[in-house]
Structure 1
Amino acid sequence: MESVLFEVVARWLHFLGALVWIGHNYATAVTRPRYVPLVAADLSDPESPRQRVLLQREHGAFRYASLLTWASGALILWQRGWLGDALSLHGALAPLGLGMWIATLMVANLWFVLWPHQQRVLGFVPAPIDERLRASRVTFLSARVNTMLSIPVLFFMGAGAHGVALFG
């Protein structure tokens, strides 16, 4: 009974975390389909309309949702005894493992590329205006990479559960 409850809770955490994380990526891609460069005036005045929009749009929840999604997925695989085979891309667990490896790249991209640059853009980390302007382009491209990588992640996660015959 404990393992069933663990599985249910972990799956719901995985599902809800993914909904927030991937949903944020898709919502951003839809609402900002192309890169609109910032100008120095946008970042030099904390009260500028674009700076205020940037600060309002910065949602930390999706960063933590990425960790929740990754960790709960790893816990589910570990609890079932599948983690090693999935990570080594062994047999029918290869699709889940491939999805997990891509998701790991997405988490790393978010925390080690996008977030440090976004901190500069938002002024959380002091940086000259030209560096903040450059960082805005990096954050845009980094977010687009994660959005594109989410497509194969979702495919492999679905294939791992429902398409085993394709990979068996």
Structure 2
Amino acid sequence: MDAATFALVLRWAHFLAGVVWVGHNYSSVVQRPTYVPLQASDLIGDTSARFQSMLNREHGIFRWASVVTWSAGLLMLWQRGALPAALHLQGGQAPIGIGMYIGTLMMLNVWFVLWPHQKKVLGLVPAPVEERLRCSRITHLSSRTNTMLSVPLLFFMAAGAHGGLPLA
């Protein structure tokens, strides 16, 4: 695959996976705009293999979309020779570098905060009802954190690619 085709594939992978990842957060905000604490009775749901498989698949797509988005973004910067400047927030690469750091924080939040707690809420990992209820609040806050972080992330990504910040 030539460099131009590789760049195009990376751009589209980054864009489409980002839509899935960030879109999942925005969808969550629309579906449940305020936090409504779960009750123990809410956790007594369908434990069929089919239901659990669907839950796992949905959350798996969301989690892995974060990895694809992040990886494709880093590869694009690397391919263009811009990764060192972005990492060090130098010159015109500073905005995209800030966006990269925000995206990294968001991905780590998905994998190391949201997902471990969500597995308990969904019953994929055994936990007492009290722990599942506690974890539901953590997953809500973790998801909302990523939703809020996506606003400056998108700003810095656009500013990095299209100007918008007076950095030389």
What is the TM-score normalised by the length of structure 2?
Answer: 0.91
CA distance in 2, matches of 1:70, 1:46: 34
Percent identical? 60
The equivalent of 1:135 in structure 2 is 135
- What CA deviation, in whole Å up to 9, does each residue of 1:96-146 have, x standing for no partner? 000000000000000000000000001111111101000000000000000
What amino acid is aligned across from residue 41 of structure 1 in structure 2? S
Structure 1: runs of 5+ lacking an equivalent: none
Q: CA RMSD in A?
A: 2.1
- Does 1:14 pair with 2:14? yes
Matched pairs, number: 164
- Does 1:86 pair with 2:114? no
The equivalent of 2:71 in structure 1 is 71
What amino acid is aligned across from residue 46 of structure 1 in structure 2? G
What is the TM-score normalised by the length of structure 1?
Answer: 0.91
The equivalent of 1:107 in structure 2 is 107
Shift of 1:166: 2.0
CA distance in 1, matches of 2:77, 2:12: 14
CA distance in 1, matches of 2:88, 2:96: 10
CA distance in 1, matches of 2:165, 2:146: 28
Cα distance change of structure 1 residues 86 and 7 upon mapping to structure 2, 3 Å threshold: same
The equivalent of 2:46 in structure 1 is 47
Structure 2: runs of 5+ lacking an equivalent: none
Answer yes or no: is the 8 Å Cα contact 1:92–1:164 preserved in 2. no
Answer yes or no: is the 8 Å Cα contact 1:117–1:139 preserved in 2. yes
Cα distance change of structure 1 residues 6 and 47 upon mapping to structure 2, 3 Å threshold: closer
CA distance in 1, matches of 2:138, 2:69: 24
